[in-house]
Amino acid sequence: MSTTAGFVLAIAASVLWGLTYCLDERVLAGMSVFKLYFLHCIVGAAVAATVLLAQGSAPASLFRIDTSEAGLVLVGVTLVTATSAAFAILASIQLLGAAKSSVLEISYPLFVALFSCWFFGGQLQLPVVIGGGFIFVGAAIIALAK
């Protein structure tokens, strides 16, 4: 895929997450975080399985992962962190509302840069740190405003 396609997809994700947060706020007024997350997962799994099968993946391959120790551990850790993040943001939306939760959650690029450097030896560039810091501080200012 091209860089342009990557930008379009990132913007589409941003728009769709914005809509999802607003819809989730309404749904969470009458549903538990766990039930909504379960429904998100069921639909996501059905869509992903359908696409993978349409691309020619064998049904059994949907349940096969890299069995090397590092691969298995890394897959397990990312599943735990993604699940924890999903529960945390849904609970935050339920408690704070979509707008305030999204502003705080959007500070994650700073943490992406830090964890990438810390865990995987990525290069931490000054513009990324400054930009991430501005996002973090800006999010806090907006979220804490009365």
What mean pLDDT comes out for the span 72-89?
A: 91
Q: The tokens of 82 are what?
A: 């993604």
Q: The tokens of 14 are what?
A: 């941003």
Using only C-alpha atoms, the chain has a radius of gyration, in whole angstroms, of 18
pLDDT tens track for 21-67: 999 999 999 999 999 999 999 999 999 999 989 999 887 887 777 66
Q: What are phi and psi of 65, to 5 degrees?
A: -125, 170
The DSSP letter of residue 60 is G
Region label for 125, one of left (φ > 0), alpha (ψ between -120 and 50) or beta (otherwise): beta
pTM for this prediction: 0.81
Q: The tokens of 92 are what?
A: 């935050």
pLDDT tens track for 7-16: 899 899 989 9
Comparing CA positions, the residue from 18, 38, 42 lying closest to residue 93 is: 18
Confidence of residue 137 (pLDDT cuts 50, 70, 90): confident
Q: The tokens of 125 are what?
A: 């560039």
Burial state string for 103-132 with b = 16 or more CB within 10 A and e = fewer than 16: bbbebeebeebeeeeeeeeeeeeeebeeeb
